[in-house]
Every structure is written in C-alpha cells, then in structure tokens.
Amino acid sequence: MTLQSLKHEALKNEDVKQEYDRLESEFTLIEQLIAMRKEAGLTQEQLAQKMQTHKSNISRLEKENSNPSWKTLLKYANVCGFELSLTLHKKESHISR
C-alpha cells in the first residue's frame, strides 16, 4: 500500500476528512516552505546557516509540529529569495439568514 492510497482510504472516514480539511492551510504552508527552499537550491543545513539558526529548527518548521512567528516566516522566505505576503479571504457562512 502506498502513502497516497493510505491517505485516500483514510479520507473516506468523515472524522479524518474533517480534521484533514481543518489542517489544510497548515499543510499548504509547509509544502510552500519546502518548495521555496528547494527552488533556492538550499538544504535545511544551508538554510539554517543563512538564517543563523540550527538545522533542527528548520526541520521542525517544515513539519506540522511548529508554530512559527511571522518574523521567522519572513526571514525564511527572504533567505530563499522570496517575498512573503498574506491574503485574507472571508469564509463562506454555512448559516442561513
């Protein structure tokens, strides 16, 4: 069984799907961080050196168990040659008026 097929099976469970959907923005952020670093051609160690931190901090940042500050995210993006911006979207209400 591949990871993709395991994910597909797990998401058939409504409770799992709801939690996955709740965390989707975090997963997307992590994917974007890793993509920026790879596009910059940097390893976690190289990025850590440029950010004046430890590789373990970069590793934690690129996993779900981190809660980085805006300042850290800006520094990460800058070192990778990117600008960071924030876009807000109003949630669609599920409540009828």
In a domain, 30, yes or no: yes
If you average pLDDT over every residue of the chain, what do you get?
89
In a domain, 96, yes or no: no
**Band of the pLDDT at 46, cuts 50, 70, 90?**
very high
Q: What range does the domain containing 69 cover? A: 17-79
In a domain, 68, yes or no: yes
In a domain, 61, yes or no: yes
Q: Among 50, 39, 55, which residue's Cα sits nearest to residue 79?
A: 50
Give me the CATH number covering residue 57.
Answer: 1.10.260.40
CA 33 to the chain's CA centroid:
6
In a domain, 8, yes or no: no
pLDDT exceeds 60 at position 87: yes
In a domain, 10, yes or no: no
Q: Where are the beta strands (DSSP E) in the chain?
A: none
Give how many domains the chain has, as a whole number. Answer: 1
**Band of the pLDDT at 95, cuts 50, 70, 90?**
low
- Tell me the average pLDDT across 37-60: 97
